[in-house]
Amino acid sequence: MEGLKEAKNNISKKGFLDVEVDPSLDLVAAIEALKKEKNAIILAHYYQESEIQDIADYVGDSLGLAQQAASTEADIIVFAGVHFMAETAKMLNPSKKVLLPDLKAGCSLADSCPAPLFRKFKEKYPDHVVISYINCTAALKTMTDICCTSTNAKQIIDSVPADKKILFAPDKNLGAYLQKTTGRDMVLWNGACMVHEIFSKEKIVKLQIQNPKAKLIAHPECEAHLLEIADHVGSTSSLLRYTQENDAQEFIVATESGIIHQMEKASPNKKFFPAPPNNTCACNECPHMKLNTMEKLYLCMKHDLPEVTLEQEVIDKGRLCIDRMLEISAKAGL
Ligand code: 13P
Ligand code: SF4
């Protein structure tokens, strides 16, 4: 723990303001008060810890979060999610302050596609349309024609004329799944998410045998051998909707376990099993998403730090692919 001045100086090193929070402080009340005082909005992804989801003004998937960021009238956007999400919000709102409770909340999938390497890769396919999953860096977005999320990826791919070739980055699992579902032949970057690649098919099948009525639901960032046996494949919002609309009472959830909070809230009488990972750890949490805590959320709102900033050139180039994505999504009614 440090004094405020020292903590501010160390933000780029530590990623967050490392100052003590009075343990007797009612964090929920304090955060609510800061929201009003600063005209701030908290946007949270489904993978955030439950308490953060409960205090957010909006909880959703990557598309919903980008749409909210594009339409908000708040002066400050507090992003309870990871770095690429906050960067997207900043590109959509260059004049607004975008705060991220911990700047080190990154993404293994975004990290799996460094911009300089991708630039070289892209040079080999000059006639290809570049579609990038939104889980990528701002630098990658500057080299992208259209962005997509797992909710709108099919519509984005379908919007590209059939005679045009497609290069898809960075997630090879989502890319392979989309090749299968859209029938388009695509060049894929070899990236993946550490959370969705860790599930054990063997342990999941055992769990299915023990709970024969449970439906297996999986995010398309999972590997093909898992998606093949899933009863439903979709984005986080699609998985949540499926658990609400399907008559089944039990679900094995193959995505980050934070989403189970919303599933349980929406269907309190249903049972949700986190899909077991391929290691001895009982959890399947995203270590990046879980860097954000209520204390860090409070501190960043109190001191307006850490702030996500981008160079104007990156904003100008990078937002084009996001604008195209939002346009196509709106036309598709998403
Ligand atoms: P969605 O919520 O858009 O399905 O994305 C999942 C994810 O991995 C976010 O990091
Ligand atoms: Fe990135 Fe995977 Fe974490 Fe999502 S769950 S933020 S894709 S590392």
DSSP string, 84-135: HHHHHHHHH-TTSEEE-S-TT---HHHHTS-HHHHHHHHHT-TTEEEEEESS
Distance CA 307, CA 219 (A): 30
Q: What is the pLDDT of residues 301-315, one digit of tens each?
A: 999 999 999 999 999
State which ligand 2 atom lies nearest to the alpha carbon of 107.
1
148 vs 125: CA distance, rounded Å:
20
Q: How far is the CA of 203 from the centre of ligand 1 (A)?
A: 23
pTM score > 0.95 for this model?
yes
pLDDT tens-digit map of 148-163: 999 999 999 999 999 9
**Is 42 in contact with 78 (CB distance < 8 Å)?**
yes
**Distance between CA atoms of 264 and 315, rounded to whole angstroms?**
38
**pLDDT tens profile 169-186:** 999 999 999 999 999 999
Instruction: Give the pLDDT band (50/70/90) at residue 284.
Output: confident
Q: What is the mean pLDDT of residues 188-215?
A: 96
Q: Which atom of ligand 1 is nearest to the CA of 235?
A: 4
Q: What is the pLDDT of residue 80?
A: 98
Q: How far is the CA of 286 from the centre of ligand 2 (A)?
A: 6
Ligand 1 atom nearest to 61, measured from its CA: 2
Average pLDDT over residues 31-36: 98
Query: Using a 6 Å CB cutoff, which residues line ligand 1?
Result: 46, 61-62, 135, 149-151, 193, 221, 235-236
**Ligand nearest to the backbone CA of 112:** 2
Q: How many Å apart are CA 165 and CA 184, to the nearest integer? A: 9
Task: Categorize the per-residue pLDDT at 279 as very low, low, confident or very high, splitting at 50, 70 and 90.
Answer: confident
Q: Is 230 helix (H, G, I), strand (E, B) or coil?
A: coil
Span 25-52, average pLDDT: 98
pLDDT score of 71 = 96
pLDDT of residue 282: 55
Measured on CA atoms in the order 232, 199, 131, 95, is the torsion positive or negative?
positive
Task: Identify the DSSP state of 277.
Answer: B
Q: Do β-strands 128-133 and 232-233 pair in parallel, antiparallel, or remain unpaired?
A: unpaired
φ, ψ of residue 248 in degrees (nearest 5): -60, 150
95 pLDDT above the threshold of 60: yes
109-120 residue pLDDT tens: 999 999 999 999
pLDDT at 283: 67
Q: Where are the domains of the chain?
A: 2-105+289-311, 109-192+315-331, 199-274
CA of 192 to the centre of ligand 2 (A): 9
Average pLDDT, the chain: 96
Could you tell me the distance, in angstroms and rounded to a whole number, from the CA of residue 235 to the centre of ligand 1?
6
Q: What's the CA-to-centroid distance between 285 and ligand 2, angstroms?
A: 9
**CATH topology agreement for domains 109-192+315-331 and 199-274:** yes
pLDDT per position as a tens digit, 204-238: 999 999 999 999 999 999 999 999 999 999 999 99
Assess whether pLDDT exceeds 80 at residue 278.
yes
Instruction: Please give the Cα distance from 259 to 275 (Å, whole number).
Output: 12
Contact in structure between 150 and 235 (CB atoms under 8 Å)? yes
- For helices 83-92 and 312-331, angle between their N-to-C axes, nearest 10 degrees: 90
For residue 66, pLDDT beyond 90? yes
- Inform me whether the pLDDT recorded for 1 exceeds 90: no
Residue keyed to tokens 């630098």: 139
C-alpha separations of 153 from 3, 60, 294 in Å: 46, 17, 32
- CATH number for the domain whose boundaries are 109-192+315-331: 3.40.50.10800
* Ligand 2 shell residues, CB under 6 Å: 47, 82, 107-109, 135, 193-195, 256, 286, 288-289
CATH superfamily of 199-274: NadA-like (3.40.50.10800)
pLDDT at 2: 72
Token couple for 21 = 């929070």
**Ligand 2 atom showing the smallest separation from residue 221 Cα:** 7
Pocket test for ligand 2, best of 194, 199, 236, 283 (most atoms within 8 A of CB): 194
Percent of the chain with pLDDT strictly greater than 90: 96
Check residue 62 and give its pLDDT.
97
Confidence check: pLDDT of 70 > 90: yes
| Domain range 2-105+289-311, its CATH number among 1.10.220.10, 1.10.10.10, 3.40.50.10800, 3.40.30.10 | 3.40.50.10800
**What length does the chain have?**
334
Nearest to 44 by CA among 55, 29, 28, 35: 55
- Structure-token pair, residue 240: 């949540």
Instruction: Note whether 119 and 169 are within 8 A (CB).
Output: no
Predicted local distance difference test score (pLDDT) of residue 43: 98
Q: Cis before residue 170, ω within 30 degrees of 0?
A: yes
